[in-house]
Structure 1
Amino acid sequence: MEITDLQAVLLSSPMPAPVELPFHGGKRTVFKRDALFVKATTDNGLVGYGPGAASEEMARLINGDLREILLGRGVGDPAGFVAEARDILGNQALAAIGAVEIALYDLWGRAEGCSVTDFLGGRKQDTVRCYGSAGMYQTAEEYAAEAAAVCEGGYEAYKYRPALGPEEDVRTVQLMREALGPEVGICMDAHAWWRMGDLSYGAETTEGVALAVSDLGVTWLEEPLPVEDRESYAALRAKRIVPIAAGEHEHDGEGFHQLIEGGCVDFAQADVSHHGGFSGIAEILRICEREQVAFAFHNWGTALETVTDALVGACFPRATAAWLEYPEYAHRDPRVMYPYPLSDELVPDAPKPVNGELPLPDGPGLGVKVDERMIDKYPYLPGPWSIFELESPPTKLALSGDHALPWAGDGQVDELPTRSR
């Protein structure tokens, strides 16, 4: 059985109208969410799929260099493909190689009639524990109400993105604790704290907020400092104020070695789409297992990525693979965040959490089916998916899957086409 085609497909799920999200010293506007999946096909028509980071450069790399490397290979040797592709393209192509690798494992599992977990060491968990994730830039009262709504699903923890200024960030956690009761954990994704221009929090302010919420059941404080500042991460973690999480901005295994072995985090974070597919995540999980650091999946893609993360996570004990991020969107519950219907419609048979635990699919390969009708329903819309606008200094930053670049303010973003559902 020979692989005869490889294709990366980009999709866009536009907001019904631009979603404006004010934060301390600025505003973020979300126009759409992009998605990418990889499809590998054999000469007898068997197909395997994998999720990937949604960017034009990723699609070009997969449809170009990686397609050339892959075509003509037999089914059943994802590791051989990964080794050859890394040797030719290097670590800068790690995410793209990982996306193709997942599709090859899916293909192999379907050919053999077994789950990909059989190739990844076997399942150590029957279900994967999820934390409900939403909370994108809103008032303290709205955060608290959303936390309560999300955790009606039985989640043991809720993640949100604080960015209201130090005093309001503390008050938000206080209100959420009142709304959630004493048992549900609170995960603070503080990536905005060092991205607010002149109003960004310094190390002293960050530590002060951490101290103020330290008795309020914070599961972790995520990326509270610039991601490259390992010395400050290690110093903050050493004070044992609240658990520290980071990792989504690392690019390869060496970065995770430094982060984990350097004592920077209590929770390491990564996902299959950005960190090298199954083999990349397994490498990170093995580092965590050896260093006795917990791992919590960062997972902000479609249900295809969620399932794929869950399958590799289930091949490690819960003491290591401790948490899986499960995004909650407004197309399921209007009380939360913004809508992203493509996330579910792309993989309609993907399992959903039950009392905060995600069941694993039992079918061959990834155990789920990709609905290719979504290619026509959600055609790709070029351009940034969101922009940040800062008050001081006045700045616009356009975000796409490829980069974050200063925006000239020529109106193109505001005119991004939208489609109603």
Structure 2
Amino acid sequence: MKISSVRAYLLSYPFDAPIHLRFHGGERTILKRDAMFIRVETDNGLVGYAPGPGSERARQIVDTAIAPFLINRTLADPDALRVQFMQGPGTDADVAKTYCSVEIALYDIAGKAQGLPVSEFIGGRVRDRIRLYASAGMYLPPEACAAEAAAIANLGFTAYKLRTALGAERDLDTVRQLRVTLGPDFDLMVDAHTWWRLGESNYSLDTIEQLAGEMSAYDIAWLEEPLPPEDHSGYLRLKEKDLVPLAAGEHEPGEESFLDLIRTQAVDYVQMDVCLQGGYAMGRRLFSEVARSGLRFAFHSSGTALEVVAAAHLGVCWPQMVVEWLEYPCYSSPDRAGMYPFPLAAEILNEPLEVDRGQLTVP
């Protein structure tokens, strides 16, 4: 079968009114959420789908570099096509990353051609379910964050990630109130990536170490990106203090930096947005390194349900002791708690994802 069409559609959901997220020393305003929907078709009528970066630059790359390369090529082995592409247009790093998003649609078609789900085609699943951590908590005051987390827990989730940067005392109070509200057996993840993005209001290293130590009393699952992502040696020094588990990876620029993060064992949990940072092929290589290093992996995912299920198909090819978690963005609706409305995140799929007791059953 030959590839006959490669299309990238930019989707956008403008908010009814700007959303203002206030934090320590600043404010972030969000006007809309964007996403990319990739559709690849072959001459025998098979269609594959993939998520992609929600940017005009990425769409231009698909239209001008990836589609011309793929159209009229035989799709028998996605890996072989990738090797050829990387020797040509893929020598550009941005082009290569975008191709790895499109490649998910190629795996989808290849699986359909053999009557197999993607997971069986990219390694073979060893389980059917993967643990989810509900992701919301956008710089909410302590009481509001605890109320949101309780509402999300009532949906059946057993883990919750919050973004916090309200100042050290209020950050700690937020975690304390979450633990009181949710009880001792609920997993809490603290995303601290704003701590080093506040300019003159950045948290000092002493403050970060003190907060990490104080948060350990509330048994958090991990502290995510409390330091700039390139500071692997700083992460290692903080990890060696054995205060709380550390997580990082979503801002790593490429495979070499991921490998340094893993091989130096600078964190406890390696994170990667597999749909945006290198695709299935790089994910599989990194999982092997994570396993050899005795670390754990947790998917980062901040987009649509298509991104979630695409990552899940790779995750279930590895045991939970290696690939432990998958991020599940919780968007709000009139009858559902979440960070803000983004209805097309779910509407992108014909059928809703099957979530039960905090786990996703992978179709």
TM-score, length of structure 1 as denominator length: 0.84
* Aligned residue in 1 for 2:50: 50
Q: How far has the Cα of 1:114 moved from its partner?
A: 1.1
Instruction: State whether residues 307 and 350 of structure 1, in contact with CA within 8 Å, keep that contact through their aligned partners in structure 2.
Output: no
The residue type equivalent to 1:32 in the other structure is: K
CA–CA distance in structure 2, aligned partners of residues 16 and 92 of structure 1: 32
- The 5-angstrom pairing of residues 375-394 of structure 1 reads none
CA–CA distance in structure 2, aligned partners of residues 280 and 336 of structure 1: 31
Which is further off, 14-23 or 333-342? 333-342
Structure 1: runs of 5 or more not aligned: 362-421
- The 5-angstrom pairing of residues 146-165 of structure 1 reads 146-165=148-167
CA–CA distance in structure 2, aligned partners of residues 244 and 133 of structure 1: 17
CA–CA distance in structure 2, aligned partners of residues 344 and 322 of structure 1: 23
* Aligned residue in 2 for 1:71: 71
CA–CA distance in structure 2, aligned partners of residues 352 and 93 of structure 1: 33
More helix by share: 2
Q: How far has the Cα of 1:56 moved from its partner?
A: 1.1
The residue type equivalent to 1:66 in the other structure is: I
C-alpha RMSD over aligned residues: 1.2
SS in 2 for 1:264: coil
CA–CA distance in structure 1, aligned partners of residues 256 and 359 of structure 2: 31
Q: How far has the Cα of 1:272 moved from its partner?
A: 2.2
Q: How far has the Cα of 1:292 moved from its partner?
A: 1.2
SS in 1 for 2:178: helix
Shift in alpha-carbon separation, 1:152–1:334, aligned structure 2, 3 A? closer
* Aligned residue in 2 for 1:293: 295
Which is further off, 316-325 or 154-163? 154-163
Count of matched residue pairs: 361
Q: How far has the Cα of 1:334 moved from its partner?
A: 4.2
Deviations 1:12-43 (A, max 9, x none): 01112111111111111111110102111112
Which is further off, 81-90 or 211-220? 81-90
SS in 2 for 1:215: helix
Instruction: State whether residues 76 and 105 of structure 1, in contact with CA within 8 Å, keep that contact through their aligned partners in structure 2.
Output: no
Structure 2: runs of 5 or more not aligned: none
1:238 maps to 2:235: no
Shift in alpha-carbon separation, 1:298–1:127, aligned structure 2, 3 A? same
Give the ranges of 4+ consecutive aligned residues of structure 1 lying more than 4 Å apart after TM superposition: none
Instruction: State whether residues 330 and 337 of structure 2, in contact with CA within 8 Å, keep that contact through their aligned partners in structure 1.
Output: no
Shift in alpha-carbon separation, 1:241–1:333, aligned structure 2, 3 A? farther
1:9 maps to 2:29: no
Deviations 1:395-420 (A, max 9, x none): xxxxxxxxxxxxxxxxxxxxxxxxxx
Instruction: State whether residues 136 and 161 of structure 1, in contact with CA within 8 Å, keep that contact through their aligned partners in structure 2.
Output: yes
| Identity %, equivalent residues | 43
CA–CA distance in structure 2, aligned partners of residues 29 and 245 of structure 1: 26
Deviations 1:144-199 (A, max 9, x none): 11111111233232100011000110111111111101110110000100111111
CA–CA distance in structure 1, aligned partners of residues 161 and 10 of structure 2: 27
SS in 2 for 1:250: coil
SS in 1 for 2:303: coil
Q: How far has the Cα of 1:126 moved from its partner?
A: 1.4
Instruction: State whether residues 265 and 295 of structure 2, in contact with CA within 8 Å, keep that contact through their aligned partners in structure 1.
Output: no
Q: How far has the Cα of 1:332 moved from its partner?
A: 6.6
* Aligned residue in 1 for 2:271: 269
- The 5-angstrom pairing of residues 302-317 of structure 1 reads 302-317=304-319
Instruction: State whether residues 164 and 194 of structure 2, in contact with CA within 8 Å, keep that contact through their aligned partners in structure 1.
Output: yes
Instruction: State whether residues 98 and 272 of structure 1, in contact with CA within 8 Å, keep that contact through their aligned partners in structure 2.
Output: no
SS in 1 for 2:206: helix
Q: How far has the Cα of 1:306 moved from its partner?
A: 0.4
The residue type equivalent to 2:340 in the other structure is: Y
The residue type equivalent to 1:61 in the other structure is: I
* Aligned residue in 1 for 2:202: 200
SS in 2 for 1:218: coil
* Aligned residue in 2 for 1:259: 261
* Aligned residue in 1 for 2:341: 339
* Aligned residue in 2 for 1:37: 37
- The 5-angstrom pairing of residues 76-155 of structure 1 reads 76-88=76-88, 89-90=90-91, 91-155=93-157
Instruction: State whether residues 46 and 109 of structure 2, in contact with CA within 8 Å, keep that contact through their aligned partners in structure 1.
Output: yes
CA–CA distance in structure 2, aligned partners of residues 267 and 115 of structure 1: 27
SS in 2 for 1:19: strand
* Aligned residue in 1 for 2:181: 179
The residue type equivalent to 1:244 in the other structure is: L
TM-score, length of structure 2 as denominator length: 0.97
Shift in alpha-carbon separation, 1:152–1:109, aligned structure 2, 3 A? same
